[in-house]
Every structure is written in structure tokens, then in C-alpha cells.
Amino acid sequence: MPGPGGPGGRMRGPRPKVENPGKLLMNVFRYVLKNYTPHVIIVVICIFIGVLANVQGTLFTQTLIDDYILPMLKTPGKADFSQLAHAIQRVAVFYGIGVVSTYVYSRIMVNVSQGTLRNIRSDLFIHMESLPIKYFDTHAHGDIMSIYTNDIDTLRQMISQSMPQMLNSAVTIVSVFLSMVYLNIPLTILTIVMVTLVFFISGKIAGKSGRFFGAQQKDLGKLNGYIEEMMEGQKVVKVFCHEEKSKAAFNELNEQLFSSAYNANMFANMMGPINAQLGNVSYVVCAIAGGLLALNGVGGFTLGGLVSFLTFNKSFSMPINQLTQQMNSIIMALAGADRIFRLLGEEPEADDGYVTLVNAKKENGKLTETDERTGLWAWKHFHKAEGTTDYVELTGDVVFDDVDFGYNDDKIVLHNVDLYATPGQKIAFVGSTGAGKTTITNLINRFYDIQDGKIRYDGININKIKKADLRKSLGIVLQDTHLFTNTVMENIRYGKLDATDEEVIAAAKLANADGFIRRLPEGYQTMLTGDGSNLSQGQRQLLAIARAAIADPPALILDEATSSIDTRTEKIVQDGMDKLMQGRTTFVIAHRLSTVRNSDCIIVLEQGRIIERGTHDQLIDLKGKYYQLYTGKPAEKKDAAAG
Amino acid sequence: MLKTLGAQIKEFKLASILTPVFMILEVIMEMVIPLMMASIIDDGVEKGNMHHIYVMGGWMLVAALGGLLAGSLGAIFGAKAATGFARNLRKTMYENIQTFAFANIDKFSTAGLVTRMTTDVTNLQNAYQMILRMCFRAPFSMIIAMIMAFNINARLASIYLVAVIILGICLMLIMTRTTKYFRQVFKKYDDLNASVQENVSAIRVVKAYVREDYEKEKFTKANSNLYNMFVNAEKILVINTPLMQATVYTCIMLLSWLGAKMIVAGDLTTGNLTSLLAYCMNILMSLMMLSMVFVMITMSMASAERISEVLNEKTDMTNPEKPVMEVSDGSIEFRNVNFHYKQQGGDPVLKNINLSIKAGETIGIIGGTGSAKTSLVSLISRLYDVSDGEVLVGGVDVRNYDMEVLRNEVSVVLQKNVLFSGTIYENLRWGDEHASDEECQHVCRLACADEFIEKMPNGYQTMIQQGGSNVSGGQKQRLCIARALLKKPKILILDDSTSAVDTATDARIRKAFAEEIPDTTKLIIAQRVSSVQHADRIIVMENGEVNGFGTHEELLANNEIYRDVFESQTGGHGDFDEGGAA
């Protein structure tokens, strides 16, 4: 079973401990205030007004009986209601203000909370897009996604509900406390004692409930992990008649979850009645004590005073219960906030390149920059020392000079790689899985940075080239095809956003994708969903090739671009590919040797080192590794290294 | 749908009934308290009767205790009923899914099934708990409070009646409008998250095409749209609280004014007025609660529908009444077979297939993408049923066999194969749970998997991670072949199962098959001609039809497609992959 946070663990593990909740909470506050300071100030003021309006209403019930009804009862027959009418009008005005301010703060909070969430989502996404590939290699995609879904959701709860609620509760508690002190001090002390008791007991239960919730999350994570794995392999289960076994294992996990979920829910449910009834007990105790005080007229305590006090007693325990309940959800939200801020704190992909790619035209044999799209590109190289700018034509000349590379500094996977690709050449990489073929191509477009050595592109060290411009000059068809939820047309257009429909169709024709696209239900307007799951693997690869074709880059990287196309279809694709490769520097990584045979240079990699290089004929003559793999005959010459 | 779901309550019926009962008891206790409070004020305080205060206070404590007991029991039974209901839902769904035929599995996507069993069940569990605990409690609380208020003073209590009606209508309007909005919003929200997901998995494409800014802009726009939709929906929802407040305040003021008049006129006591004021909150809060339950139920309707779909899905395939329990030999025959997938309309995938394969033969199958090679072999172990015609194994129609017997004798290595988390031994023993270590190692030798397993630090005890993510593609394929061999089947089908294995190893596996399991009929689907050219006979598939069936030499002479493929692959038929034919 995968452990918590294991494969695909979408944050279903036990609730992680938040290390510095105070600091995190401040960070959240700061984030909210960054854009919404005036809003928040208005909200705070409105909450104050709302609470005060409510409190004055409660106080009014005291004056109602003591100051208006009781005096009128003493003078039966000629009761004067005008004073009472005035008082009620006054209260009505306050109430009115209270209602308005409640509306105002709730309405503003919608903008504050939703706006903050929008900003967080945008910030997260924008920041995520700037992160290096390494980040995506080292973080499970499920975990990244859960930040957008689970963590932001809990944060929404916290910002839109818990925060105003807590503020409201805090203000209520303070004002009610002051009112109680004003009414009667001994009873206030009694109430405080009762409340402390409530706090203590519910704290105990909350602790228990929290532990069970942790267990529930863990069991839920385990069960969900199991369900995901088994649903993924459901067909294998059928083929092996493994249904009963899989049911048995499922039932065990299901029972575990039932038991922990039951306990967690039970304790959570019990919090309510326990708090409420303890509140009632506090109410009774106050009633008896207050009754005694009022009857004996101790300290001028009156019947009306008792009535008001009892209302306050109730309105004192309510916000305290709310506070304890909100605490739980705030702690959960902070765990999510922690992950959000951690992603935002990730170091973005560094780019200190300053050489840019510009459209160019040749005038009198000299390259000059131009705004129009000429089809001729140049690197604009500004020399700081001399203050001069020169233009180098983009041709696709790539040189590796003694390059070492490792995904981690302590584990080098490519050793002393030397490589020359002159413009228009087709360079092929062959070698077993893990030999470093894909790695080399990832270095050319700087998905990863090298540890040692130099890579030059048209004579310029690629570290000096702005990453965006470097990548624009390189077309790439990846091993795993990725398509976006959009039409076929838009998916191809991804390679060149301003391409016309005609250009898209031309590119599709070049890649021999036009035929199958036209047979799709809605042709080029067919919507692709779920990474193009409605297409076959081969069709998806054809689209990826078309996408690269429309970008029309001077250099091309094809990483196993035809691996999933059957050999017959591949022949059709190959024509398109050959057209595409015409006049471009192309790096081909291939599995099938037949696709690399006509390369200008074939490079054989083994364990991160180049062991052989040369044309097909040269390598066959060499009778080394390539010969062995190509012919299936054993190599005659070991340790071959040619130039 | 409700019937389907209701049937899953099963042993938790009692708890489901007791929960609302105790919740109602709790409400009664809560209601009695303001009544006693009034009595304390009227009969105790005003008459100076301290004894009455003690007695009533005592009763109030009893009532509070009773409320506590009822509330706690309601909490316990409610939790039991809801979590039990969820457990049963998961269990029944899972068991039903286990009976699904391939056609049923295709209908629901993997992700769809996972969501139904996880998120949707949790939604229903919460909704069910809410229904049990609140659906009876809230209206009951409102009715009791209303009755009591009327009992005290019908004229004043009618204020509440009017308030409830007005507030109720307003809440209904707000809720129906917002739920409609929220459904749209959540749909958009899912779309937004789907696009994030897409960006995460396609990050290399995004970066390679330098489309970060384009994606950012697209996202920011969608995100702003979502913000506007959220604000529009919540804008209506926030009227709730002030509306509620306004109603409560209005009631309090009306009561104060009219109550004062009545007290002066001697029609009401001050205690009565206090009780009436206390009921105000009770009545209106219950109404509020009810509207929340209503929202929650409508929100969980979608989950309920999705779960019912799985529960009501009947498997397409059942065992025959008198199943044949033994497969006599590994011969295969297709007679006039037509086949099309149920979910897809249109042309049949397989057209008029007639084939006869003898036991022990090795048959290669070759053909382009979409030529229905996989569909052809999946009929043999009855993963799908034919639309017309019949498929015979050992001379018997596959539909007459006991499915387990058939599938144990016809072992398929699926194209999209899966390893499960567990040790290599555990994974292998899916083929035969009683297999000894030696047997496991033997099949691994046949599948040429022994060489890499033995190099692993823990050998056969090495843990395979979920989805087999810690072994390479070629290693995974060889493990899957070994697993299938452990069944000692009469027919072995390899569906493109050595595509990631290098040519030399592929050849050794085929050699081992020929020597070690000569009596097993072997069907090998492959892209590489080298994988099939030494087979006894080769089937060439094209557009769902058998284009050619014969030996390598025959096909080379007579079959254009085969010749094409052969020529395109000869010479450089080598393939690099791990191990690299060392």
C-alpha cells in the first residue's frame, strides 16, 4: 500500500503539522491586505457596528421591562406609550444600521475572499509556469494539483467564513462581557467559570475528534489509493480472475475507514449538543443565582436585569462555541496555506540570457533587424564591454564542448560529451533506455543546465541566449505527446499562434495528418478532450508533428516521434518528416534503427558516454555496438571509438 | 435513484430511524427550557417563591441532561448511519464493478469510477448525515416552538407565522437562484482545474514552444471569469444573513411594542414575553437550517446520480447456466465473426472473420494501427462477446464455458498492462497464488525477466510501486509475460507485449516458448516483423478483416501488405533498448 502522500497521494494523508501557524496566519493576512486593505477596514468597522447594534437590542429588553413596562404597570389606566414608542424607534434605527452594516460587510467579503482566491490562483499559476522542469520532475503531479483544488478550497473557507466569523465572535465576546460586567459582577464571574468549564470539556472532545479525523484521513488516503490502483488495473483483474481477492482487500480497508470515520464523525457531532447543554446548565445556574439575587434585591439587581443577563449568558457561550469550531478549520486551512506559500516561494527558472532572436533582412550582405517576418532570423548580441550590437544569422549550428551533466550535482549522467551539428544536418542518437539520449536534447533547449563544459548555438554560448528565444528557435516533438482541451485546429496552431487556418491545414498535410483529421466527426473543429484521449497514440503523434511543422523552426528535435506509429503508417509519416527536416538541423532520437539510417551522423550512447559515432556505413564497417544491434550479429570490435 | 441508494442503508436502518428520533427528543428538551424559565420568573421570582425556583431549576437541569443524552445519542447514531451508509455504498459499488465486463469498464472511465467511489460517496455521506440530523429536527423544532408560542399568546405568535412565511419565500428564491448559479460555477471551476492539470502534465510542451505567457493570459482570463461568476452567485447568497437579522429584529420590536401593550392591559405576563422572545430565534434559525439542508441536498444530487449509474449498471456478461468446466485443448476457431463495440455505433470493428488455429500452433498477428488486432484476440478469452457468429476454444463456444475456467486457460498479456504495488513474487502470483518460489523463478527465466530481477538489491522480494513506476517499460512487459505464464495456460496471447524489449531478448523469449511450452497455442501480436516471421503462420489484419493468413514465405509471395511491412523493416530491424542485447 502506498504510504501517506505516496504515489498519487492527493493530500489524503494525515493532516500535516503546521510548523509556524502564527507566521502563516500573518502571511495569509498580509496577502489579503495586499490588495484589499480599504475593504478590510470597512469590513472590520461594519462588523463592529453590527455587533453593537445587536448588543444594544439585547440591552433594550432590560429597559423594556424595567423602564417602560413595570412603571406603566404601577400606574394602571393612564399608561403613557409615547416614551416606549420613542425608545422602539431609536432601537429600530440602530437595528437598521446593524442590518445594513451586516449586508455591507458580507457583500464586501465576497469580493475580498473571491478576489484573494483569484489572485492566489493566478499567482500560483503564473509562478508555476515560470518554474524549471526540475520542479515538475521532483513533485508528483497529483500533489501539485491538490494545491489548486483542496488547499485553495480550505483557504476559501477560512477567508470567507472563518475570518469574519472569528472577528465577529471576538467582538461579540468582548462587548457581551462588558455588558455583563455592567449588569452584575458576581453573575459575570459565575458565567466565566461555567464558560471555562465548557471550554475545557469541548477542548478535550475536540482533541479526541481531531485524532480520529487524522486517522480517518489516513484510512481514506489508503482506501482511495487502493481504489485508484485497482480501477486502473481493472481489466487485468478480470483477465486473472482476481475479483474475489481484490474484493477481500478492499473490504478490509473499507471497514477500517468505516470505523475511523464513524468515530471522527461521532465526536464532531457530539461537540454541538455538549456545548449547547453545558450552556443550558450555565443558564440554569445563573437563573437560580440571579433569582436569589433579584428576590433579595442584592446590589440593586432587578428582574429586568436578570432577563437581560440571561440573554447575554446565552450570547456569551454561542460565540465561544463558534470560536472553538473555527479553530479546527483554520488549522486545516493553514496547512494548505503552507503548501501554497511554499510553491510561491519556489525558485523560478533562472534566465540571465540577453541575446535575443529577431527578424532580420540582408542588405548589402549585412544583417539588419526588421519588424516584419522575413523568414530570416538573427541573434541580436549586445556586447556590454564595447557597447556594440552585432547580428549573427540563425542557422542551427550546435556544438557541445566537453559537456558533463547530472540531474543532481552528485550524480553525473552525461560525461564528456562532444558534439557538432552543422546547419541542415540530421543527427541521430541511439542507445538503450537510460543511455542519455533524451537528456542531451533537453540540454539544447535548456530544460536543464549543464554542470560543466559549453554548448554553443551558432557560436553563441546558450547561457547567453534568452531562454524564450532559444526555445523559439527549436522545434520539438516529445516522446510523450501532450494535447490540450481544444479543437484540432487550435492544437496545431499552438506551434504558431498567429497562423491562419490555411497554414494549419498545410502543416497537417505536411505531417500527413490531414487525412485522418478530415475523417474525424467535425474535421479540424473536432474538440479534443483529456489529452486527446479520443485519438489513437499514432494520431496524437501526427498532430504533435504538425504542431512542430507549423512553428517552422530552424532546428528540430524529434524524441521518439514515431515510436507509436506502426511501420506502415510510419512510412507515410516519414515522407512528411523528411519534408519537415529539409534544410533544418535535426536531432532524432529513435528506437527503430531503420529511421536513423540516412542520418548524417549517428551517435551511439551508452551510460551517458558517446561510444561510437559516424554515418551508417562507417558504423557498420566499425563492427561495434551499432553493427551488433543493427545486424543482430555479435560485435567483432570492442571498445570502438571513431570520430 | 432514491430506491437504489436507499437499498444500501441495510443494517443501518435502525440507526437511521433512531437518529431523527433522538434529535427530536433533544429539541423537545430544548423547548421545555424557555417554558420553565418563564415559570421561574412568573411563579418564582415575582411571587417570591424560592422553593419554586429550586424545583423548576432542578427540572431544568434534568431537561438539560436529557437534552445532552438525546443529543449525544443522536450524534452517535447519526455518525453510525451515515458512515455505515457510505461503507455500504462503496462496498456494493466495488463488488458490482468486479462483475463488470470489459464493455462496462469502457463505459466508465477509470477516473470516473475513482471519483464515484471517493468524492461522490463522501458527498452523499455528508448529505445523508445532514438529512438524518437536521431534516426532522429543524421543522420539528420550528413547529413545536410555533405551537408553544401560540399557546402563550395566539395574537402575538401570529407575527412569527407571517415572518416564517415571508422569510421562507425569500430564502427559497435565494436558494433556487444560487444553486443554479453555483452549479455553473463549479462546472467552470472544474474546467479551470482541468486546464491546470493539463498544463502540469504538458509543461514540457508549454516550455518548448515558449507558451508560458499565452497560458498565463488564458488562465488569468478564465480565472477572472470564474471570479465574476463566483461573485455573482455569492452576491445573492449574502442577502441571507442580513435578511434573517432584519426579520428577527422586526419580530423583536413588534413583540416589544405589542407585548408591552398587552402586559399593561393585563393580557400577558413579563415571563410570557421573555419566552416569546426566546422562541423567536428558535423558529427562524430552524428555517435557516432547513434552507441549508435543502441546498446541501440539491448539491449532492449530482453525486447521487453518478453513484446510481454504477450501482444500476448490469454486467454485459454472465456465466452460462450449465457451464463447461474444462477446456480440452488450445485450438481456436472463428466462425463468421462480426464484432462491434457497444459504446461506438457505426461500422463493425471486425468483419466476417473465419479462422482455424490448431492447438500448439504459434500464430503471429500483424497489421496497422486500428486494424483490430486487439479486438480479434480479446474475443478468444471472452473479454467481449461477438456480435455475430461464434468463437470456439477447444471446440466449444466460449460463451458456454465458465468464465473463470476459460480465462485461466486463455492467458492474455494485455497491451496496456498493469503491475500492482507489492513484491515481484506477489505480482507473479496473480497468475497462480499457490505457485512456489521455484515456479515463479522458472517463468521469469522463460520471460527473460530473471536477469534484471536478480540484479535488483532485493531480488524477487523487490517492491513494485503503484503502476510499476519503478521498473522500465521492457522490464514491466517481461514481468507481465511471466505472470501470464504462471497460469500454465493452454492458449497464451501476447498483445504487443515485447514492444519495449530489445530484439535479441525478444528472440530468446520466443525461443524459450517454443522449447518449454510447445503444446500451448501462442498468439503474438507485434509491430515488428522479426517478432512474428518465425511463427507457424501469420495473420495479416487490415481494417477489421483478415487480409492474409499463412506462413512467412507464403505471405511474402502473395500478400502485398506483409511484403511492404517486411521490406520497410528488413535491414535495420534492430531495436535499441535496455540491456541492449549485451
CATH number, domain containing residue B560? 3.40.50.300
The verdict on a CB contact (< 8 Å) between A566 and B527 is yes
When CB atoms are compared, the residue of B64, B76, B99 closest to A277 is B64
Strand partners, A366: A363
Number of domains in chain B: 2
In angstroms, the CA B109 to CA A529 distance is 13
> Do A551 and A496 touch, CB atoms closer than 8 A?
yes
Q: Which amino acid is at B25?
A: L
In angstroms, the CA B257 to CA B518 distance is 101
Q: Which of B132, B209, B433 would best serve as a mutation to test chain A binding (most A beta carbons within 10 A)?
A: B209
When CB atoms are compared, the residue of B78, B86, B577 closest to A432 is B577
Determine the distance in angstroms separating the CA of A605 from the nearest CA of chain B, rounded to an integer.
11
When CB atoms are compared, the residue of A84, A239, A531 closest to B260 is A84
Determine the distance in angstroms separating the CA of B511 from the nearest CA of chain A, rounded to an integer.
15
Nearest to B517 by CA among B556, B488, B545: B488
Same domain as B150, residue B45 = yes
Which of B263, B279, B312 is the last residue in one of the domains? B312
In angstroms, the CA A392 to CA A381 distance is 8
Query: For residue A408, what pLDDT is reported?
Result: 77
Which of B312, B347, B380 is the last residue in one of the domains? B312
Determine the distance in angstroms separating the CA of A551 from the nearest CA of chain B, rounded to an integer.
8
Nearest to B78 by CA among B135, B121, B30, B32: B135
Q: How far is CA B269 from CA A294, B264, B266, B364, in A?
A: 18, 9, 7, 98
In angstroms, the CA B341 to CA A485 distance is 25
Q: Is B119 on the interface with A (CB under 8 A)?
A: no
Phi, psi of B325 (to 5 degrees): -100, 5
Query: For residue A638, what pLDDT is reported?
Result: 44
Can you tell me the mean pLDDT for B459-480? 83
Which chain B positions have a beta carbon within 8 Å of A565's beta carbon? Answer: 369
Same domain as B119, residue B232 = yes
Determine the distance in angstroms separating the CA of B335 from the nearest CA of chain A, rounded to an integer.
23
Query: For residue B345, what pLDDT is reported?
Result: 57
389-428 of A, contacting B, C-beta below 8 A:
none
Minimal-distance CA residue of chain A relative to B31: A280
Nearest to A142 by CA among B171, B348, B466: B466
Q: Which amino acid is at A304?
A: G
DSSP string, B377-435: HHTTTTSS--SEEEEEETTEEGGGB-HHHHHHHEEEE-SS----SEEHHHHHTTS-TT-
Q: Specify if B557 maps to a domain.
A: yes
Q: Is B318 on the interface with A (CB under 8 A)?
A: no
Q: Which of B36, B257, B373, B466 would best serve as a mutation to test chain A binding (most A beta carbons within 10 A)?
A: B466
Determine the distance in angstroms separating the CA of A84 from the nearest CA of chain B, rounded to an integer.
8
pLDDT in tens, A19-47: 677 888 888 889 999 999 999 999 999 98
Determine the distance in angstroms separating the CA of B418 from the nearest CA of chain A, rounded to an integer.
6
Q: Specify if B541 maps to a domain.
A: yes
pLDDT in tens, B255-287: 888 988 888 888 888 778 877 887 887 787 888
The verdict on a CB contact (< 8 Å) between A258 and B86 is yes
Q: Which amino acid is at B251?
A: C
In angstroms, the CA A151 to CA A155 distance is 6
Q: Specify if B452 maps to a domain.
A: no
249-288 of A, contacting B, C-beta below 8 A:
250-251, 254-255, 257-258, 261-263, 265-266, 268-270, 272-274, 276-277, 280-281, 283-284, 287-288
Minimal-distance CA residue of chain B relative to A93: B249
Query: What ipTM did this prediction achieve?
Result: 0.83
Query: For residue A77, what pLDDT is reported?
Result: 67
Residue B572 pLDDT more than 70?
no
User: Does residue A30 or residue A351 have the better pLDDT?
Assistant: A30
- How high does pLDDT run on average in chain A? 81
When CB atoms are compared, the residue of A85, A430, A478 closest to B204 is A478
Query: For residue A568, what pLDDT is reported?
Result: 66
Q: Is B462 on the interface with A (CB under 8 A)?
A: no
Counting one residue from A and one from B, how many pairs have CB atoms under 8 Å apart?
430
Same domain as B223, residue B177 = yes
Place of cell 453510525: B80
User: Does residue A163 or residue B520 have the better pLDDT?
Assistant: B520
Tell me the percentage of chain A whose pLDDT exceeds 70. Answer: 89
Same domain as B287, residue B382 = no
* Per-residue confidence band for B353, with pLDDT thresholds at 50, 70 and 90: very high
Q: Specify if B429 maps to a domain.
A: no
* Per-residue confidence band for B418, with pLDDT thresholds at 50, 70 and 90: confident
Q: Is B80 on the interface with A (CB under 8 A)?
A: yes
Q: Specify if B83 maps to a domain.
A: yes
CATH number, domain at B168?
A: 1.20.1560.10
Same domain as B378, residue B231 = no
307-366 of A, contacting B, C-beta below 8 A:
307, 310
Half-sphere exposure of A539 (CA within 13 A, CB side): 18
Can you tell me the mean pLDDT for A610-617? 87
The least confident of A206-220, A251-265, A544-558 is A206-220
Residue A225 pLDDT more than 90?
no
* Per-residue confidence band for A12, with pLDDT thresholds at 50, 70 and 90: very low
Which chain B positions have a beta carbon within 8 Å of A254's beta carbon? Answer: 87, 90-91, 94
Same domain as B230, residue B148 = yes
Q: Specify if B183 maps to a domain.
A: yes
pLDDT in tens, A491-541: 999 988 889 999 999 999 888 888 888 888 888 998 887 666 667 777 888
449-488 of A, contacting B, C-beta below 8 A:
467-468, 471-472, 474, 476, 478, 482-485
Same domain as B114, residue B47 = yes
Can you tell me the mean pLDDT for B523-528? 87
- How high does pLDDT run on average in chain B? 86
Q: Which three cell numbers stand for residue B176?
A: 433556487
Query: For residue A14, what pLDDT is reported?
Result: 38
Q: Is B221 on the interface with A (CB under 8 A)?
A: no
Query: For residue A13, what pLDDT is reported?
Result: 36
Q: Is B289 on the interface with A (CB under 8 A)?
A: no
Q: Are strands B396-397 and B388-393 parallel, antiparallel or unpaired?
A: antiparallel
**Burial class for B108, CB neighbours closer than 10 Å (0-12, 13-18, 19+):** buried
> Do A187 and A285 touch, CB atoms closer than 8 A?
no
pLDDT in tens, B534-553: 899 999 998 889 999 999 99
* Per-residue confidence band for A562, with pLDDT thresholds at 50, 70 and 90: low
Same domain as B339, residue B233 = no
Same domain as B389, residue B287 = no
DSSP class of residue A632 equals S
Q: Are strands A609-614 and A601-606 parallel, antiparallel or unpaired?
A: antiparallel
Can you tell me the mean pLDDT for B34-59? 76
Q: Specify if B229 maps to a domain.
A: yes
Query: For residue B538, what pLDDT is reported?
Result: 94
CA B464 to chain centre: 24
In angstroms, the CA B379 to CA B387 distance is 10
In angstroms, the CA B170 to CA A590 distance is 68
Same domain as B279, residue B135 = yes
Give the 3-state secondary structure of residue B453: helix
Residue B574 pLDDT more than 50?
no
Tell me the percentage of chain B whose pLDDT exceeds 70. Answer: 95
Which of B248, B282, B312 is the last residue in one of the domains? B312
Residues contacting residue A513 through CB under 8 Å, at least 6 positions apart:
A492, A539, A542, A543, A545, A546
Q: Is A153 on the interface with B (CB under 8 A)?
A: no
Q: Which of B18, B24, B203 would best serve as a mutation to test chain A binding (most A beta carbons within 10 A)?
A: B203
Query: What is the span of the domain harbouring residue B397?
Result: 332-419+481-578
**Burial class for A373, CB neighbours closer than 10 Å (0-12, 13-18, 19+):** exposed
* Per-residue confidence band for A3, with pLDDT thresholds at 50, 70 and 90: very low
Can you tell me the mean pLDDT for A155-171? 83
Q: Which of A81, A104, A141, A239 would best serve as a mutation to test chain B binding (most B beta carbons within 10 A)?
A: A239
Q: Is A91 on the interface with B (CB under 8 A)?
A: yes
Q: How far is CA A218 from CA A155, A206, A375, B463, in A?
A: 21, 18, 58, 21
Residue B94 pLDDT more than 90?
yes
Place of cell 429536527: B137
Nearest to B494 by CA among B527, B461, B469: B527
Minimal-distance CA residue of chain A relative to B428: A240
10-49 of B, contacting A, C-beta below 8 A:
26, 30, 33, 37, 40-41, 44-46, 48
Residue B69 pLDDT more than 80?
yes
Q: Is B203 on the interface with A (CB under 8 A)?
A: yes
Same domain as B231, residue B117 = yes
Q: Specify if B326 maps to a domain.
A: no
Query: For residue A7, what pLDDT is reported?
Result: 31
The verdict on a CB contact (< 8 Å) between A597 and B572 is yes
Same domain as B173, residue B92 = yes
The verdict on a CB contact (< 8 Å) between B219 and A125 is yes
CA B59 to chain centre: 51
pLDDT in tens, B220-245: 999 999 999 989 988 888 888 899 88
Residue A289 pLDDT more than 50?
yes
Q: Which three cell numbers stand for residue A542?
A: 501526427
In angstroms, the CA B260 to CA B254 distance is 10
In angstroms, the CA A343 to CA A332 distance is 18
Determine the distance in angstroms separating the CA of A243 from the nearest CA of chain B, rounded to an integer.
6
pTM confidence score: 0.77
